[in-house]
Amino acid sequence: MRPRSQRDAPRFKNAAHRHLSAGAFVEEATAYDRIRPAYLPRTRELLGRPHAGLRVHDLGCGTGKFLSLWEGSDAHLSASDPSTDMLRVCRVLHPEIPLWRGVAEHIPLPDSSLDVLTCAQTWHWVDTARACQEADRVLAPGGQLLLAWNTIDVSEPWVLRLARIMHSGDIQREGFLPELVEPFEVRRTLRTRWSTEMSPADLHALTHTRSYWLRSPEHIRQRVTDNLNWYLFEHLGFEEDSRITLPYRLDAFLVERAE
């Protein structure tokens, strides 16, 4: 088996390849919200500042997983995502938050209008040079960019093989840093491990929310399904009602302008 990834970000052949991969998330938003993990509340603490009255916008909000961290706060929230299906679910779950379709490279907000930009599970899909330029424009002086990833922890060989079969992304090495351009730099990091219990059916559902699955034809999907069934039931010996402890990594970064 190939060794674990040593990259800081996934590789794309070109901008069109990145756009194709990111654009796969046009369906299955309900399943995505059900099966994708939430974010640890500690992630928001990276901001290290009072939350009352903060103007916060979540880029690539998806179904609102990261927005949920702000429940009960006095922050003024808004969010955007390029997928209409993701926004459909997010509007149901967070009806009080203004939402619109948009991308990180073109943020339809005035200059210096935000205190915080958040981007969870999304930054590797964007043109980072253009996204940083837009972040610099819309963030007020002292503004912060908060980036976060939940990633399957592939430090154990059986999980690495599982992730490869699921095409769930062994794309960022342990200890990676997000790609940034001037004037931004990482100021604080949060790296921790956690786990969740899943059934074999849940692992199939999780696989179905990945870009590789969403953009693959039916015969490729069937091959992934067959390989996953073989690995779980024949190779690892799980049963249909087994509870499987799936380890995760959280990598989060507080990004600010360089002084």
Specify the pTM.
0.90
pLDDT of residue 14: 58
Q: Residues 210, 228: contact at Cβ < 8 Å?
A: no
Residue 166 has pLDDT above 90, yes or no: yes
| CB contact set of 223 (below 8 Å; sequence gap of 6+) | none
pLDDT at 19 over 60: no
Residues in CB range of 124: below 8 A, 6 or more apart: 9, 10, 149, 171, 172
Neighbour tally for 76: CB within 10 Å: 16
Q: Which domains does the chain have, with CATH numbers?
A: 15-257 (3.40.50.150)
Q: What mean pLDDT do residues 95-112 have? A: 95
The phi, psi pair for 239, rounded to 5°, reads -110, 170
Mean pLDDT of 13-19: 52
Taking alpha carbons only, the member of 153, 127, 167 closest to residue 251 is 153
Closest CA to 187 of 126, 127, 138, 253: 253
pLDDT for res 20: 44
pLDDT of residue 18 exceeding 90: no
Q: Taking residues 99-116, what's their average pLDDT? A: 96
Which stretch of 8-22, 36-50, 102-116, 163-177 has the lowest confidence by average pLDDT? 8-22
Average model confidence (pLDDT) across the chain? 90
What is the DSSP code (8-state) at residue 235? Answer: I
Which pLDDT score, from 0 to 100, does residue 154 have? Answer: 93
User: Looking at 146-160, 165-179, 181-195, 210-224, which range is the least confident one?
Assistant: 165-179
pLDDT at 173 over 70: yes
Least confident of 46-60, 188-202, 244-258: 46-60
> Which of 222, 259, 256, 233 shows the shortest CA–CA distance to 115?
256
Q: Of 29-38, 65-74, 164-173, 236-245, give the lowest mean pLDDT range.
A: 164-173
